[in-house]
Every structure is written in structure tokens, then in C-alpha cells.
Amino acid sequence: MRFYSFQILIEKEPEGEGYYAYSPTLPGCFSNGKSIEEARRNIREAIEQHMASLAAHTQPIP
């Protein structure tokens, strides 16, 4: 089993009341949430799914 660590950024959405989360290391991997905590949970799930997709398609993991 391997463990990875990815930097995530959470920013206030310019329009609306939510937050936008993404990892600069994983292009195309992003999520959002109504609160910072929800955005953090959602981006973690998005990263897990992104990693699973990379592995399923035998793509290198950054």
C-alpha cells in the first residue's frame, strides 16, 4: 500500500457562498462545498477517485 500527499487549495467562490477546492499537482481534479470542511471532504474524495482512474488506465501518478 502506498500513501500519497497532495497539496490542496481552498478558495472562496467569487460568486456565491461556497468554497472551491483543487490540487495544483493533479490537473483537472477539483471539487467544491458549502463550507471549508465540506470542500475539504469533497476534494479528498475527488483525489481518491482521480487516483483510482489513473491506476485503472495505467497512467503515472504524479
pLDDT over 70 (residue 1): no
Q: How many beta carbons lie within 10 A of that of residue 44, not counting itself?
A: 15
Residue 45's Cα: distance from chain center in Å? 7
Q: Which three cell numbers stand for residue 35?
A: 463550507
Residue whose C-alpha is closest to residue 21's, from 35, 45, 40: 40
Q: Is 61 helix (H, G, I), strand (E, B) or coil?
A: coil
Domains of the chain in start order, with CATH, are 9-56 (3.30.160.250)
pLDDT over 80 (residue 36): yes
Q: How confident is the model at residue 33 (pLDDT cuts 50, 70, 90)?
A: very high
When the pLDDT of each residue in the chain is averaged and rounded to a whole number, the result is: 93
